[in-house]
Amino acid sequence: MKIYNHLLATIKHKGAAYLILLDPDKLSEDKIQVFLKHCEKSGVDGFLVGGSLMVNENFELFLSKIKSLTHLHVIIFPGSITQVSSNADAILFLSVVSGRNPEHLIGKHVLAAPSIKKSGIEPISTAYILVESGTTTTAVYMSGSLPIPRNKPEIAAATALASEYLGMKLIYLEAGSGADKPVPDEMIKAVSEQCSVPVIVGGGIRDSATARRKVESGASIVVTGNFFEDENNWDLIKEFSNAIHIKNSILV
Ligand code: 1GP
């Protein structure tokens, strides 16, 4: 529970945590070091690594490189059962609870559990809730399941509560990488009011004001990916951190 407890402590201390999603397919070898240092300096709290459609065969290598270059926690955000490795600190043990596809609810987990145990990394049981976001996202397509309609916050809240009752430690509201529209504020509010475990929000967040609104609506962790794949945006990382760290930030 070391990494989970650290996340809880960060949320308590800063009001919310900021994680950046690294996609091995998109972050080129020569830029990794500079980017990671930039993130550290800018107050990012940790990294997620993974993706629903990863073609990079050097996942292990990528992870060990990241681990050697940063002191921040590296958490696997698996898109498939091959994304398990001891070169990380933890893994989000995701169950796609918004869908009714048994493979993504429990099937893949049975296959992955023994390798996670062997790797020694910390599994963090996470309810993964896909939210309709304008277009069909990779996550929705790959999971073969329907997302929750964006105008149905009550379905998301009931799903999240059921997940918490089942013992899940995090609720992840996912609009999908590169989503047209991020998870609606009303849905985040409904879910965070029902649940006592932290709510992660990600997908389609491209400016600091939106990130801030997600925290004000009840998100405890905000994730961005795509936006910082463009080097020209790196100077804005600090602005995102400040906006998300609602307790100790000056509003930008
Ligand atoms: C993490 O999938 C997201 O939940 C990342 O989404 O790439 O759109 O920021 P973006």
- Print pLDDT tens along the chain (252 aa): 899 999 999 999 999 999 999 988 888 888 999 999 999 999 999 999 987 666 666 889 999 999 999 999 999 999 889 899 999 999 999 999 999 999 999 999 999 999 999 999 999 999 999 999 998 998 899 888 999 999 999 999 999 999 999 999 999 999 999 999 999 999 999 999 999 999 999 999 999 999 999 999 999 999 999 999 999 999 999 999 999 999 975 544
Using the atom order of ligand 1, give the atom closest to the CA of residue 179.
8
Distance CA 195, CA 163 (A): 9
List the beta bridge partners of residue 125: 93
Distance CA 225, CA 248 (A): 23
Q: What is the largest CA-CA distance in the chain?
A: 46
Q: How many domains does the chain have?
A: 1
CB of 226 sitting under 6 A from ligand 1? yes
Structural domain span for residue 48: 2-251
Distance CA 12, CA 3 (A): 14
3-class state of residue 168 by DSSP: coil
- Supply the CATH number for residue 85's domain: 3.20.20.390
Distance CA 55, CA 41 (A): 30
CB of 200 sitting under 6 A from ligand 1? no
CB of 229 sitting under 6 A from ligand 1? no
Distance CA 128, CA 140 (A): 11
Instruction: Give me the sign of the Cα torsion angle 245, 121, 123, 4.
Output: negative
**Interior angle at CA 99, CA 165 and CA 162, nearest 5:** 10
